[in-house]
Structure 1
Amino acid sequence: MLSERDSPNTGWESSSTVRVLPPARPRALAKVPFVELADGRLQGVVSSGSDIGRVYVSSVAAGNHEFACSTNNNRPCGGARGTFCKHITTLVDEAALQYGAERVARHLRVDLAAEEPSGRDIVERMRAAGPARADAGAAAGVFSQFLRHLAYLEHAPTTTPIPELHWFPTTRAVR
């Protein structure tokens, strides 16, 4: 067994906190309050343009580009019939702002030819690869993850450790 001194891990690797990379560019949180690259998908929540009480849970799987888009009430999106709807396009655009288009394209396994790629370039390449199938099973997990993240906003500010937030990323330097 390696001692802490002999451990190959250094700094943040041996800490319970993780460095947070700043967004590639600022993005509109009101439009897409939640976006992440997780579970083999690009997934997130997109606000409705017509109803303030409605959001769309959208995702695109890496590799085969199966997609899902439905409301928070689990009703299918009317625009996601055989192709990517505006919610999925918006999600990809915002993910490109948050993580950088190259990282999103790598995650989704999309080859980009553009020198300065954008979310639109990623969507066009996925469309050009052929029709993707709908994946109705993804929405519940994505929305559950979003609600879990929202619950952290309800914690009162404190300096004492909160066990369920020990994993939460920090922006301060870890020594």
Structure 2
Amino acid sequence: MGVDSSTWERRSTVRIVSPVRPRKLAKVPFVEMADGRLQGVVSSGSDIERVYVSSINAADHGVSCSTNNNRPCGGLTGSYLCKHLDLLLDEAELQYGTDRVARFLRVELAENAGLRYAIEPHHVKAPAATVFSSFLRHLAYLELPESTGPLPELHWFPATGAVR
């Protein structure tokens, strides 16, 4: 039985796509495919107060990695990915599945080769503040009391999977 179009237009909820495999959020608390980039926040291995904002452009594989206060990552050199970008790719595969991430990044995977071998990275300047702000906004939703009612600020999101 289908849902009439006026019903889905009035919803204030969106169906959540479950991760392909469970993720541990300690190392990479935030990963998303948005704004033409695979992007996320990666915890520092050496300082609990520091996080890195890492991203890979889908179109040209431009990579960026810097701290939340815009200091460049020291491990991102030449055409090699830093450990933060490696972790971002690993967690994206857990969250979305290898095939979906490969399609998003527009790469063909060789047999038995991972995503990191399919991209040809080069350095670009990316909007770290925008990604970090998105992460903080997601954290704020975790602090809301549990409710099944609509959230006014999310009202404009269409419910996915609705029959139109």
Match of 2:115 in 1: 122
Q: Quote the RMSD (CA, aligned, Å).
A: 2.9
The structure showing larger relative contact order (alpha-carbon pairs under 8 Å, at least 6 residues apart) is 2
C-alpha displacement of 1:73: 1.5
1:153 is the counterpart of 2:149: no
Match of 1:52 in 2: 48
C-alpha displacement of 1:149: 0.9
C-alpha displacement of 1:148: 1.1
Tell me the secondary structure at the aligned position of residue 69 of structure 1.
Answer: strand
Match of 1:19 in 2: 15
Q: Which amino acid aligns with 1:49?
A: G
CA distance in 2, matches of 1:114, 1:26: 24
1:126-146: CA deviations, max 9, x gaps? 14xxxx332223212111111
* Percent sequence identity over aligned pairs: 61
**Counterpart contact for 2:12–2:150, Cα < 8 Å:** no
CA distance in 2, matches of 1:15, 1:126: 39
1:88-121: CA deviations, max 9, x gaps? 0110010001000000000000101226x6xxx1
1:84 is the counterpart of 2:81: yes
Q: Describe the shift of the 1:106–1:159 C-alpha distance in structure 2 as closer, same or farther (beyond 3 A).
A: closer
CA distance in 1, matches of 2:15, 2:37: 22
Gaps of 5+ in 1: none
Match of 2:98 in 1: 101
**Counterpart contact for 1:17–1:167, Cα < 8 Å:** no
Q: Structure 1 segments of 4 or more deviating over 6 A?
A: none
Gaps of 5+ in 2: none
CA distance in 2, matches of 1:62, 1:156: 36
Match of 1:138 in 2: 127
CA distance in 1, matches of 2:11, 2:135: 25
Tell me the secondary structure at the aligned position of residue 17 of structure 1.
Answer: coil
Q: Which amino acid aligns with 1:109?
A: R
C-alpha displacement of 1:150: 1.1
Aligned residues: 159
Q: Describe the shift of the 1:112–1:89 C-alpha distance in structure 2 as closer, same or farther (beyond 3 A).
A: same
Tell me the secondary structure at the aligned position of residue 38 of structure 2.
Answer: strand
Q: Describe the shift of the 1:74–1:63 C-alpha distance in structure 2 as closer, same or farther (beyond 3 A).
A: same
